[in-house]
Amino acid sequence: MDFPKEEFLAPGHRGCAGCGAALVVRLALKQSGKNTVVIAATGCLEVMTTPYPETAWEVPFIHVAFENAGAVASGVERALKAQGKEDVNVIAFGGDGGSVDIGLQSISGAMERGHNLTYICYDNEAYMNTGIQRSGATPWGASTTTSPSGSVSYGEDKPKKNMPMIMAAHGIPYIATASISYPEDFMQKVKKATETKGPAYIHINQPCTTGWGFEPAKTIEIGRLGVETGFWPLYEIENGEFRVTYRPTERKPVVEYLKSQKRFKHLGEDEVEKIQEYVDNQCEELGI
Amino acid sequence: MTTSVGCTIDKPGSTRVNKTGSWRTFKPILNKDKCVECDNCYIFCPEGSINQEYGIDYDFCKGCGICSNECPVNAIEMEIDN
């Protein structure tokens, strides 16, 4: 793939070494280009890119509260429309906390009203910015500071909320899952999302060196393992039509993914088996 | 005249004043003779610190080592940065 040359996220931002969230934005903006307005919910991304009085953004950027990125993106889209600027890409970014938990109602409203915008959830599966607290997107068995593993607990005891399918239930024209380890696939999806007339939603898996507990150099490798084990499926739903966009030739055992991260290292055989069963069911359901 | 509601920052890309290269412990060194120009290091760098000619911007490289880890021909070595 010939990657667009331009960059719209400046270096000097405060993301950790090996930060996947920075890469999500870098790739998404490379694809959407200069003609983009960005809205971001509170979260790691906002904190690391806008240490006042500096900003890493090189497109117009608005940070709003945790819960209203969807509402503000709706307003921006309507304001641009009123000015006759309908060719501008409106992209909202939110982490899993800002999207799956706190911002869910405003995203739902934006999708329901049919605004011409793209919402990208960068999912690192916990509240990383505030100190690794569990979110609705934390997978079963993960140890976080509010679902710690120990003698009486194996960690998070609830399943991960299936946000892409919640978005699909809104009947919007474009929904996709993605991974930072598959940049061509992700950028192709950003292209489709921004070209879609109406709301589009992308849910991207973003390994977090600090919160998941692995060496910064492994960010991409672990994202790839997530996909290769079937833990993180890559698909899109275009006008109601479901399509798997990447199918591992042979799925690796999920234990390879789990053992690569500190948040899962406490899991015993029984728990690993339960997660493998969950992944097998998910893959069967999705046809992977 | 501009009116500020909350905080307004009017200098795009101004984080460039913050040279994150100072965070680095390990420094990526590319051996161009080994390089197969696959673009992995360029596209996976979270800082955008490697350009399309594979030049590394040490002012901002945080030394995460993703480029070295993703290089299919081991053309990038991580060395202690003194």
Q: What is the CATH number of the domain that holds A203?
A: 3.40.50.970
Predicted pLDDT at B5: 65
List chain B residues with CB under 8 Å of A206: none
Q: To the nearest whole angstrom, how far is the Cα of B32 from the nearest Cα of chain A?
A: 21
Asked if the structure places residue A1 within a domain, the reply is no
| Assigned token pair, A158 | 């609830």
ipTM: 0.95
| Pairs of CB atoms within 8 A across A/B | 108
User: Which range of residues forms the domain containing residue A54?
Assistant: 20-286
Q: What is the CATH number of domain B20-80?
A: 3.30.70.20
Distance CA A197, CA A115 (A): 8
b/e code B59-69 from CB counts within 10 Å (16+ = b)? ebbbbbbbbbb
Nearest to A46 by CA among A108, A94, A100, A99: A94
Asked if the structure places residue A5 within a domain, the reply is no
Predicted pLDDT at A2: 83
| Cβ B70 vs Cβ B44: under 8 Å | yes
Q: How distant, in Å, are the alpha carbons of A5, A64, A212, B52 from that of A67?
A: 34, 8, 24, 38
- For chain A, list residues with pLDDT below 50: none
Divide the 82 residues of chain B into consecutive groups of 10 and give the mean pLDDT of each group. Answer: 74 97 98 97 98 96 98 98 86
List chain B residues with CB under 8 Å of A14: 15, 18, 20
Residue-wise pLDDT for A2-21, tens only, equals 899 999 999 999 999 999 99
Q: Catalogue the long-range contacts made by A74-83 (C-beta closer than 8 Å, 24 or more residues apart).
A: A74/A109, A74/A110, A74/A113, A74/A115, A74/A117, A76/A37, A76/A39, A76/A117, A77/A115, A77/A116, A77/A117, A78/A115, A80/A37, A81/A116
List chain A residues with CB under 8 Å of B70: 220-221
Q: How many domains does chain A have?
A: 1
Asked if the structure places residue A236 within a domain, the reply is yes
Q: Output phi, psi for B40, to 5 deg.
A: -55, -50
Q: Kindly identify which residue of chain B lies nearest to residue A56, measuring between CA atoms.
A: B13
Domain boundaries, chain B: 20-80
The residue written with tokens 């919160």 in the block is A211
A15 touches chain B (CB under 8 A): yes
Asked if the structure places residue A189 within a domain, the reply is yes
Residue-wise pLDDT for A174-204, tens only, equals 999 999 999 999 999 999 999 999 999 999 9
List chain B residues with CB under 8 Å of A10: 12-16
Asked if the structure places residue A32 within a domain, the reply is yes
Q: Which B residues, 46 through 75, put their C-beta within 8 Å of a C-beta on chain A?
A: 46-49, 52, 57, 59-60, 62-66, 68-70
> Is A281 exposed, middle or buried, given 0-12, 13-18 or 19+ CB atoms closer than 10 A?
exposed
Q: Kindly identify which residue of chain A lies nearest to residue B42, measuring between CA atoms.
A: A3
